[in-house]
């Protein structure tokens, strides 16, 4: 048992893959309590996340620890609280709002490309660059705020906070936040920076007033105007928790997917050239813009495949609230159920030659993006069921437009060996992603 605990802390991806290979698609971990199960069979995963999701809550160590940063936001809230939150934020992600997002993506990528134009032939950290772009898009699209000046500090604060969260989740006896250990000091400082960003966003909105009522409201408008059945408004803490949730989750996950997409393209010149040709053709017609998505099927497939190989949310946990049967295995109430999209996405029973980067998996015979991508049973980069990521469509739009915008203007060449994936809250490259940037 102690060897298993040590192994999962040192290298959780390798440990989970070995457990699944040795013990099957639904297995119980050799730990005393709570009873813990790894579920990799797509049908059993679907039962947990979709068809019987009411019997599985989010009151797990993963989300409890993450709430030290995000509070009780949409990502970490358990079922009853979440049910009241989702209808409030959902309108911010309707397709009418997504058309406006494309303009924010264009602004952020132009700023990045202007910076890289001064670094032709130099090595840049693509991971850090994608973090900045994603933060700027989140700030502008969801909160109407320009975060470009603070993007690096907020990205650093996010990574520092999430690093401490992971270490706390893996401790046998986590130290309370009030004890001034080095990790707790780092966490409090990082959360303080995020809180300061929230204060600035709210102060700016108070000065400027709400968005034009004739157009789509952004997320901040929706939070500030939301009322409960009794007529009361959200508290400042509730607004803060949602804003921090979307600052953290709304940029770190997209940046991770983009970083791995660039790494995979760097190792596959044919795939990179095909993406560039597609992007250049769209640029020649004045894009890329929201209306160009259908003209970027290969770019979308590259992002889909990067999300398959390196799903940012590589681990999903649930707590069973009632007895259940998963893949023929009895699961008691109170059990911890672990689902790893990393494992599901690399199952050879569902993905031929699963370790190979092959975007064509996501194209139909005519070369268009498959219409059934979201319904693939062994593909869940954004989760599934009622708790499906509310920002999925925004993330896909942003990812495709960033890839196309950058690929049309510059070449990113790999430098050194591929980075090792580190299983933090999301999958991160161990030491960033250095690549050489060359103007076309």
Residue spans of the domains in the chain: they are: 2-439
Q: In this structure, are residues 187 and 164 in contact, taking their beta carbons and an 8 Å threshold?
A: yes
> What is the distance between the alpha carbons of residues 393 and 371, in angstroms, rounded to a whole number?
14
Q: In this structure, are residues 98 and 273 in contact, taking their beta carbons and an 8 Å threshold?
A: no
pTM: 0.94
Q: Cβ contacts of residue 2 below 8 Å, gap of 6+? A: none
Q: In this structure, are residues 151 and 127 in contact, taking their beta carbons and an 8 Å threshold?
A: no
pLDDT in tens, 42-79: 999 999 999 999 999 999 999 999 999 999 999 999 98
> Would you say residue 217 has pLDDT above 90?
no
Report, at the CATH architecture level, how domain 2-439 is classified. Answer: Orthogonal Bundle (1.10)
Per the structure block, which two tokens stand in for 413? 């060449």
pLDDT in tens, 117-140: 999 999 999 999 999 999 999 999
pLDDT at 9: 65
- Comparing CA positions, the residue from 431, 420, 409 lying closest to residue 115 is 409
Q: Cβ contacts of residue 58 below 8 Å, gap of 6+? A: 76, 77, 78, 79, 82, 317, 318, 319, 387
pLDDT in tens, 153-209: 999 999 999 999 998 888 777 788 889 999 999 999 999 999 999 999 999 998 887
pLDDT in tens, 352-391: 999 999 999 999 999 999 989 988 989 999 999 999 999 9
Q: 415-419 long-range contacts, Cβ below 8 Å, gap at least 24?
A: 415/123, 418/263, 418/267, 419/263
Percent of the chain with pLDDT over 70: 97
To the nearest 10°, report the CA torsion of 235, 238, 241, 246: -110
Across all residues in the chain, what is the average pLDDT? Answer: 92
> What is the distance between the alpha carbons of residues 347 and 17, in angstroms, rounded to a whole number?
10
């Amino acid at each position: 048992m102690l060897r298993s605990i040590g192994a999962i802390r040192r290298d959780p991806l390798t440990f989970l893959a070995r457990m699944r290979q040795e013990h099957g698609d639904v297995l119980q971990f050799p730990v005393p309590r709570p009873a813990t199960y790894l579920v990799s069979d797509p049908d059993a995963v679907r039962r947990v996340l979709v068809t019987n999701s009411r019997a599985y809550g989010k009151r797990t160590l993963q989300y409890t620890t993450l709430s030290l940063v995000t509070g009780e936001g949409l990502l970490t809230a358990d079922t009853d609280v979440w049910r009241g939150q989702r209808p409030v934020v959902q309108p911010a992600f309707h397709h009418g709002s997504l058309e406006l997002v494309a303009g924010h993506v264009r602004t952020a990528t132009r700023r990045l490309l202007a910076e890289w134009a001064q670094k032709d032939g130099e090595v840049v950290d693509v991971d850090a660059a994608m973090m900045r772009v994603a933060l700027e898009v989140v700030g502008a699209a969801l909160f109407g705020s320009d975060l470009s000046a603070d993007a690096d500090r907020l990205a650093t604060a996010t990574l520092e906070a999430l690093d401490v969260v992971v270490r706390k989740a893996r401790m046998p006896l986590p130290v309370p936040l009030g004890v001034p250990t080095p990790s707790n000091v780092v966490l409090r400082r990082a959360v303080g920076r995020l809180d300061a960003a929230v204060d600035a966003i709210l102060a700016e909105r108070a000065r400027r007033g709400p968005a034009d009522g004739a157009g789509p409201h952004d997320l901040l408008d929706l939070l500030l105007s939301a009322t409960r059945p009794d007529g009361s408004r959200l508290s400042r803490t509730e607004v803060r928790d949602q804003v921090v949730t979307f600052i953290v989750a709304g940029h770190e996950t997209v940046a991770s997917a983009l970083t791995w997409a660039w790494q995979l393209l760097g190792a596959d010149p044919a795939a990179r050239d095909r993406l560039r040709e597609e992007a250049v053709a769209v640029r020649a017609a004045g894009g890329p813009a929201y209306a160009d998505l259908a003209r970027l099927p290969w770019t979308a497939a590259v992002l889909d495949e990067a999300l398959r190989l390196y799903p940012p949310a590589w681990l999903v946990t649930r707590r069973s609230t009632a007895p259940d049967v998963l893949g023929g295995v009895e699961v008691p109430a109170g059990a911890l159920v672990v689902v790893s999209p990393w494992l599901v996405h690399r199952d050879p029973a569902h993905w031929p030659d699963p370790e190979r980067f092959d975007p064509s998996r996501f194209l139909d015979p005519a070369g268009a993006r498959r219409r059934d991508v979201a319904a693939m049973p062994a593909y869940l980069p954004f989760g599934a069921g009622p708790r499906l990521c509310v920002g999925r469509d925004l993330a896909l739009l942003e990812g495709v437009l960033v890839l196309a915008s950058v690929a049309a203007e510059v070449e990113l060449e790999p430098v050194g060996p591929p980075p090792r994936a580190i299983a933090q809250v999301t999958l991160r490259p161990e030491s960033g992603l250095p690549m050489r940037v060359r103007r076309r």
